[in-house]
């Protein structure tokens, strides 16, 4: 369904208390420098009661946003030269918009389209604006709202965004005594480099197609069974199994484009939170880009089932203390492997085939209760990079939604794959 959204107002919200002078310079970490200048989007959808007042809701959002910015002071500053944040309290963007079509939130959630969801966001996902954070309150005509936020990936990974939202709503409920203070130790652990090695933003594109597919619990169970080995006691996880399945269906879908006599490189990349992999471990409210990627290099691209899930698990297991100690020194052997391997294939006239996966599953995205109830749905929006898959829990908690971004022609082929269609649906959000 097409969305029509009219912006009513826009203003700047500043921290409720000034940032102390000794905190005015927030240094980006080496891992922050490696992240793209794009926004991470999250949209929270709520039903309202008949007696809920929109003006009061908007004021509550603004007041609590101002309060949480005193804790997350870098978000109210301005990024300078991809090296540091001037924490000058200039504030974040807050806008209010009216959704004229569809007028009912329930209609918007029947078969949500990531491209249309982007109309609920305060900004385009790239290029980024001067703001590190933007919030937009979207008002549906018949008893519903959607609160959308965009946080620059240059400062925050997915878990940082989610923990920001969780602490924000806790303050909104008047429970300040339950709020943990975010930790800002990333640049100490991972000191920045004078010049970043790679410009990953260059790969961002608006010419790709993002679609949302739902894997229901029963289908996930079947896929896990298909990817299980009789010789191994521990079954593959839901994410390992779905990643392997999507990889296999993607390779099968584009097989007619693979030239028989041409060298081919196959890589499967999986992002992982490293807070609990460090020694000592970091708490979940540690802010920044504190994640790395496990890399799988496949020999033929035709590896299947348990063979692929085993390689995914091994790739993530290699994100160990020894590897992370090297990252602290500014050495990322797996990122170097990805870049050099694919570049070498391309320079020799070969074909590089890859998929990158990220998962927000098991993160507390449905705990975002401002005081008018938990969200009935939480969504992402379009993805900025092709050949990218993002997993999120469904509202029920036992299903998984996959946001898949591909070139238009590859998406058409994937959607025509019978084995893929057999297990996915694009059903409504609730």
Q: pLDDT per residue over 168-191, tens digit each? A: 999 999 999 999 999 999 999 999
DSSP secondary structure code for residue 424 in this structure:
-
What are the domain boundaries of the chain? 4-189, 208-422
Strand order in the sheet with 84-86: 25-27, 84-86, 78-80
d(CA 228, CA 231): 9
Residue 181 gets which letter from DSSP?
Answer: P
Q: Residue 79: what pLDDT?
A: 96
Among 246, 11, 5, 215, smallest CA distance to 115 is for 5
Query: Can you list the positions of beta strands (E) in 114-229?
Result: 133-140, 144-152, 209-215
| Gap between the Cα atoms of 11 and 202, Å rounded | 31
Q: How far apart are CA 116 and CA 39, in angstroms?
A: 16
243 within 8 A of 410, measured Cβ to Cβ: no
Fold that domain 208-422 belongs to in CATH: Chloramphenicol Acetyltransferase (3.30.559)
Q: Which residues are identified as catalytic?
A: 153, 369
Task: Give the CA count within 13 Å in the CB-facing half-sphere of 121.
Answer: 21
Name which of 149, 156, 399 is nearest 290 in CA terms: 156
pTM, whole model, 2 decimals? 0.96
Which residue ranges of the chain lie beneath pLDDT 50?
A: none
Condensed to tens digits (0 to 9), the pLDDT of residues 377-417 reads 999 999 999 999 999 999 888 999 999 999 999 999 999 99
What is the model's pLDDT at position 49?
87
User: Would you state the pLDDT for residue 429?
Assistant: 61
Token digits for 50?
A: 């008949």
Distance between CA atoms of residues 119 and 105, nearest Å: 14
Determine the distance from the C-alpha atom of residue 418 to the mean position of all C-alpha atoms in its chain, rounded to a whole number. Answer: 28
Domain over 4-189 is classified CATH 3.30.70.1380:
no
Question: What value, to the nearest 5°, has the Cα angle with vertex 56 and ends 96 and 429?
Answer: 60
Same fold yes or no, 4-189 and 208-422: yes
405 touches 210 (CB < 8 A): yes
Cα pseudo-dihedral 110, 115, 118, 123, rounded to 10: 180
pLDDT of residue 82: 87
State the pLDDT at residue 131.
Answer: 98
> Is the CB of residue 32 less than 8 Å from the CB of residue 26?
no
Find the length of the chain.
430
Give pLDDT, residue 212.
Answer: 96
CA dist., res. 313 & res. 389, Å (int): 17
| Site of tokens 């069974």 | 225
| H or E element, residue 43 | strand 39-47
Both structure tokens of 109: 């959630």
What is the three-class DSSP state of 425? strand
Residue 87, SS3 per DSSP? coil
């Amino acid at each position: 369904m097409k969305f029509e959204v009219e912006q009513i107002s826009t203003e700047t919200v500043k921290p409720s208390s000034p940032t102390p002078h000794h905190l005015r310079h927030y240094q980006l970490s080496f891992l922050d420098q490696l992240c793209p200048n794009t926004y991470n989007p999250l949209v929270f959808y709520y039903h309202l009661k008949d007696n809920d007042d929109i003006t009061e809701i908007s004021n509550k959002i603004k007041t609590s946003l101002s309060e949480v910015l005193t804790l997350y002071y870098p978000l109210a500053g301005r990024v300078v030269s991809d090296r540091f944040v001037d924490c000058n309290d200039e504030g974040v963007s807050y806008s209010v918009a009216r959704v004229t079509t569809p007028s009912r939130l329930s209609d918007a959630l029947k078969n949500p389209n990531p491209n249309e969801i982007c109309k609920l966001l305060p900004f385009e996902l790239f290029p980024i604006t001067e703001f590190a954070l933007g919030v937009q309150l979207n008002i549906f005509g018949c008893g519903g709202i959607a609160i959308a936020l965009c946080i620059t990936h240059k400062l925050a990974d997915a878990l940082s965004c989610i923990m920001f939202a969780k602490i924000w709503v806790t303050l909104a409920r008047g429970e300040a005594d339950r709020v943990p203070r975010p930790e800002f130790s990333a640049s100490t652990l991972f000191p920045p480099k004078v010049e970043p090695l790679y410009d990953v933003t260059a790969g961002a594109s608006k010419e790709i197609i993002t679609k949302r597919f739902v894997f229901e619990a029963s289908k996930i169970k079947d896929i896990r069974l298909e990817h299980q080995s009789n010789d191994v006691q521990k079954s593959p996880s839901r994410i390992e199994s779905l990643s392997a399945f999507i990889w296999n269906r993607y390779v099968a879908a584009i097989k007619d484009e693979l030239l028989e006599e041409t060298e081919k490189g196959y890589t499967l990349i999986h992002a992982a939170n490293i807070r609990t992999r460090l020694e000592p471990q970091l708490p979940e409210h540690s802010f920044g880009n504190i994640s790395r990627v496990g890399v799988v290099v496949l020999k033929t691209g035709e590896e299947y089932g348990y063979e692929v899930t085993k390689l995914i698990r091994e790739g993530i297991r290699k994100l160990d203390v020894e590897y992370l100690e090297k990252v602290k020194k500014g050495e990322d052997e797996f990122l170097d492997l990805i870049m050099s391997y694919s570049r070498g294939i391309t320079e020799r006239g070969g074909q590089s085939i890859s998929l990158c996966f990220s998962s927000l599953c098991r993160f507390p995205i449905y705990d975002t209760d401002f005081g008018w109830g938990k969200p009935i749905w939480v969504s992402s929006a379009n993805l900025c990079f092709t050949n990218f898959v993002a997993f999120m829990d469904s509202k029920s908690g036992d299903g998984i939604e996959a946001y898949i971004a591909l070139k238009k022609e590859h998406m058409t082929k994937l959607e025509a794959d019978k084995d893929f269609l057999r297990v996915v649906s694009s059903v409504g959000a609730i």
